[in-house]
């Protein structure tokens, strides 16, 4: 079960980026903040939205371009002034009212609607709506993982639904027509692909784990069952915090939704109802939970700067999952994961499709390409652990994570931190296993 999950976990962003993600041209601006008001229509699988994006010009700027998926933009404004805009190839190009000089900030308001083909998932049979990765399918935004901004998110829904979103929950507002506006404030700048929410007719359970509030949601599981499904959450967060050298920040919510392969968002992870059932039947099947929890550090706080360094998110999350299992379930559980990775790598080699972990061509990633990032990536971290020894390896992981908290990283950042911890060059190892084919 874990093998299946770890092949497919979190792969959707790869489908959405251009082949030239390794050579992203300067956007010319830095997004500072998004303020989004969203009205999903669950029955008709539609969404209407209005958002204001605030940004700073990085050089003289006459226009901004945002990813906009399949959304139809109906208006762009600066204050009361209507702006010219055009949409093509899943982007919206907006001409500013006045050219900006380098360092100037401005805000643009965009009105839009659409029927997202993915990214915003509707399950009308459950009265449920939730996001999966492709944020620009429900709010015009920058998809690239090296763009971090704060977010104020509002989602207006019928009464009777519970919701969880990225950021600190603000009090809900009841509108005159009886609908409920759910609101969250994400005060730490984060990459857009970890923005999101889920809402449905959920049961709810909560726990307090030290300073961290835990909340679990599901339509199909009772509050008592939810406590059993997610019983290991606090221990997982403690384990990853110790390995990261960074305490968990804020509250952590996990929801079981209609269909997903597992997704990490900022302070919120989604898994499927089916996975919740599996955990009830076999409480040892915590790998997927652990993988998504590990992303709260490796992926969300320390984020690959471009998808060619995606192994820093996914290989790391898989490796950390195995390290957690090693502590929680024993050495055999860790070695079982290593065997899965090694077996997959052997299969890639036999098929002639193994390649470097740092891999630029993500225009149409195959299952084998994903296996390189997820499975071989984790295996290479296991090998590096052996190469460096326990103390130096974990010291390097802590230094790397602490130094890059809230930053976008490339593989050289990781290598540098590990070499400092090792007290020697690791270039031969990285040349062979990370930049070469091992
Ligand atoms: Zn993942």
pLDDT one-digit tens code per residue, 380-413: 999 999 999 999 999 999 999 999 999 999 999 9
Assign domain 16-200 to its CATH superfamily.
tricorn interacting facor f3 domain (2.60.40.1730)
Query: CB within 8 A of 337, min separation 6: which ones?
Result: 2, 287, 318, 321, 322, 325, 378
**Distance between Cα 288 and ligand 1 center (Å):** 9
- Residue 63 CA to ligand 1 center (angstroms) comes to 34
Q: What distance in Å separates the CA atoms of residue 215 and residue 234, rounded to the nearest whole number?
A: 11
From ligand 1's centre to the CA of 114, what distance in Å? 28
For 232-274, how does the pLDDT look when each residue is reduced to its tens digit (9 = 90+)?
999 999 999 999 999 999 999 999 999 999 999 999 999 999 9
d(CA 43, CA 280): 31
Q: 261 C-alpha to center of ligand 1: Å?
A: 9
- Mean pLDDT, the chain, as a whole number? 93
The answer to whether 421 and 387 are in contact (CB under 8 A) is: no
Cβ < 5 A residues, ion ligand 1? 9-10, 314, 317
How many A from CA of 101 to the centre of ligand 1? 39
Residue 106 alpha carbon to ligand 1 centre in Å: 34
Q: How far is the CA of 264 from the centre of ligand 1 (A)?
A: 7
Confidence of residue 290 (pLDDT cuts 50, 70, 90): very high
Do residues 122 and 114 touch, judged by C-beta distance below 8 A?
A: no
* pLDDT above 80 (res 351): yes
> What CA–CA distance (Å, rounded) separates 111 from 323?
46
- With 0-12 / 13-18 / 19 or more C-beta atoms within 10 angstroms meaning exposed / middle / buried, residue 281 is exposed
CA of 64 from ligand 1 middle (Å) equals: 31
CA distance 182 to 166: 11
Structurally, at CATH architecture level, domain 203-297 sits in Orthogonal Bundle (1.10)
Please check the confidence at residue 202 and state whether its pLDDT lies above 70.
yes
Tally of CB atoms within 10 A around 397:
27
Domain extent listing, the chain: 16-200, 203-297, 303-433
Cα of 293 from ligand 1 centre, angstroms: 9
What spacing in Å lies between the alpha carbon of 18 and ligand 1's midpoint?
A: 20
**Fold matches, 203-297 and 303-433:** yes
DSSP 262: -
Rounded to the nearest whole angstrom, what is the distance from the C-alpha of residue 313 to the centroid of ligand 1? 7
pLDDT for 318 equals 98
The angle at the Cα of 117, spanning 111 to 123, to the nearest 5 degrees, equals 100
Whats the size of the chain, residue-wise?
A: 438
Task: Give whole-number Cα distances, 82 to 64, 92, 97, 159, in Å.
Answer: 15, 15, 8, 34
| Closest C-alpha to 31, from 53, 58, 59 | 53
For residue 98, the CA-to-ligand 1 centroid distance in Å is 42
Most distant CA pair in the chain: distance in Å? 66
Section 65-71 average pLDDT: 98
- 397 vs 420: CA distance, rounded Å: 11
CA of residue 36 to ligand 1 center, whole Å = 26
Confidence of residue 360 (pLDDT cuts 50, 70, 90): confident
**C-alpha of residue 9 to centroid of ligand 1, in Å:** 5
Q: How far is the CA of 263 from the centre of ligand 1 (A)?
A: 7
The CA 56 to ligand 1 mean position distance, Å, reads: 31
Nearest-angstrom CA–CA distance, 137 and 131? 9
What's the CA-to-centroid distance between 209 and ligand 1, angstroms?
24
CA-to-CA separations, 282 to 27, 228, 229, 242, 276, in angstroms, rounded? 48, 11, 9, 26, 10
Q: What class has domain 303-433?
A: mainly alpha
pLDDT bin (cut points 50, 70, 90) of residue 7 is very low
């Amino acid at each position: 079960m874990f093998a299946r999950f770890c092949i497919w976990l979190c792969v959707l962003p790869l489908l959405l980026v251009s082949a030239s993600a390794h050579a992203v041209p300067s956007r010319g601006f830095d997004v500072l903040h998004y303020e989004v008001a969203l009205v999903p229509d669950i029955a008709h699988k539609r969404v209407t939205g209005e958002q204001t994006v605030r940004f700073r010009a990085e050089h003289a700027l006459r226009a901004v371009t945002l990813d906009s998926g399949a959304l139809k933009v109906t208006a762009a404004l600066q204050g009361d002034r209507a702006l010219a805009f055009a949409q093509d190839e899943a982007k919206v190009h907006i001409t500013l009212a006045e050219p900006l000089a380098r360092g100037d900030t401005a805000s643009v308001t965009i009105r839009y609607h659409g029927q997202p083909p993915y990214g915003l998932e509707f399950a009308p049979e459950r009265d449920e709506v939730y996001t999966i990765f492709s944020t620009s399918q429900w709010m015009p935004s920058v998809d690239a993982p090296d763009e971090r901004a704060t977010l104020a998110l509002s989602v207006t829904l019928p009464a009777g639904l519970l919701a969880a979103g990225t950021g600190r929950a603000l009090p809900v507002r009841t509108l005159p027509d009886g609908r409920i506006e759910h609101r969250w404030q994400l005060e730490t700048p984060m990459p857009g692909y970890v923005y999101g929410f889920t809402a449905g007719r959920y049961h709810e359970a909560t726990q307090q784990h030290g300073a961290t509030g835990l909340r679990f949601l599901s339509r199909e599981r009772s509050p008592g069952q939810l406590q059993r499904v997610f019983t290991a959450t606090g221990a997982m967060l403690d384990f990853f915090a110790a390995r990261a050298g960074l305490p968990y920040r804020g509250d952590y919510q996990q929801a079981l939704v209609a269909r997903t392969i597992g997704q990490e968002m900022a302070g919120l992870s989604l898994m499927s109802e089916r996975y919740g059932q599996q955990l009830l039947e076999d409480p040892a099947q915590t790998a997927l939970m652990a993988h998504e929890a590990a992303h709260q550090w490796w992926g969300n706080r320390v984020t690959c700067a471009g998808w060619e360094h995606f192994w820093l998110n996914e290989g790391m999350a898989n490796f950390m999952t195995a390290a957690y299992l090693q502590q929680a379930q024993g050495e055999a559980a860790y070695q079982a994961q290593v065997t899965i990775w090694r077996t997959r790598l052997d299969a890639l080699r036999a098929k002639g499709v193994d390649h470097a972990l740092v891999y630029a061509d993500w225009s149409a990633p195959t299952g084998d390409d994903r296996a390189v990032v997820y499975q071989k990536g984790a295996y290479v971290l296991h090998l590096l652990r052996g190469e460096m020894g326990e103390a130096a390896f974990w010291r390097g992981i802590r230094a790397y994570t602490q130094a890059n908290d809230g930053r976008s990283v490339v593989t050289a950042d990781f290598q540098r931190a590990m070499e400092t911890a090792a007290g020697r060059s690791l270039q031969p190892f990285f040349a062979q296993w990370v930049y070469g084919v091992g």
